[in-house]
Amino acid sequence: MKRLALLLAIAATLPGCGMRPLYGGGEGGAVRQTLRAVEVAPIEGQQGWLVANALRDRLIADESVARYRLQVALDDEIIGLGVRPNDTITRERRILRARYQLVDLADGSVVLDATAGSDAGIDVVGSEYATIAAEQSALERLSGIIADQIVARVALYAQRAADAPQ
């Protein structure tokens, strides 16, 4: 009974904490409308293709109403970590970093300039094919993680811009 009373007391204080849903307003909300108006500029390389597709999947943009362009530059690196006594690598770390800018198409100004990044560990096994497949899988996972980070940051920008006095 005491736990229930405590939970009710905590729940009663939540509306006053200032937290609110990022995607409040659903399809017609300011965040969703801004995300829909972002076009993704081409990104170089296979990593760029993966990240650009992941971004387009998450933004669900309508490029006919584009107000913003998302420009992304990637840095992809694989570092050997574990080393056997015969100097062969046993573990790798793949690091994918992105520097991105959200450009307002109306005046060309950069309204958001930030970075995102993540890394993944890869076991290096006796089969070269298996190692290459693991590196590719890591790249695909990292591309999705980077895209999630970028979209979340753009959504936060959109919410703050909607809340700012005009």
The tally of domains found in the chain comes to: 1
pLDDT at 8 over 80: no
Section 56-74 average pLDDT: 89
Section 106-121 average pLDDT: 95
Three-class SS string for the chain? CHHHHHHHHHHHHHHHHCCCCCCCCHHHCHHHHHHHCEEECCCCHHHHHHHHHHHHHHHCCCHHHCCEEEEEEEEEEEEECCECCCCCECEEEEEEEEEEEEEECCCCCEEEEEEEEEEEEEECCCCHHHHHHHHHHHHHHHHHHHHHHHHHHHHHHHHHHHHCCC
* DSSP-derived secondary structure for 138-154: HHHHHHHHHHHHHHHHH
pLDDT at 79 over 90: yes
Section 123-143 average pLDDT: 92
Longest dimension (CA), the chain: 65
Q: Which residues pair with 89 in a beta bridge?
A: 83
Section 70-98 average pLDDT: 91
114 belongs to a structural domain: yes
Q: Report the CATH number that the domain containing residue 67 is assigned in CATH.
A: 3.30.160.150
Provide the residue range defining the domain that includes 150. Answer: 21-163
What was the pLDDT predicted at 160? 85
Report the share of the chain in percent with pLDDT over 90. Answer: 59
56 belongs to a structural domain: yes
pTM: 0.81
Long-range CB pairs of 6-9 (<8 Å, 24+ gap) are none
52 belongs to a structural domain: yes
10 belongs to a structural domain: no
158 belongs to a structural domain: yes
What was the pLDDT predicted at 16? 57
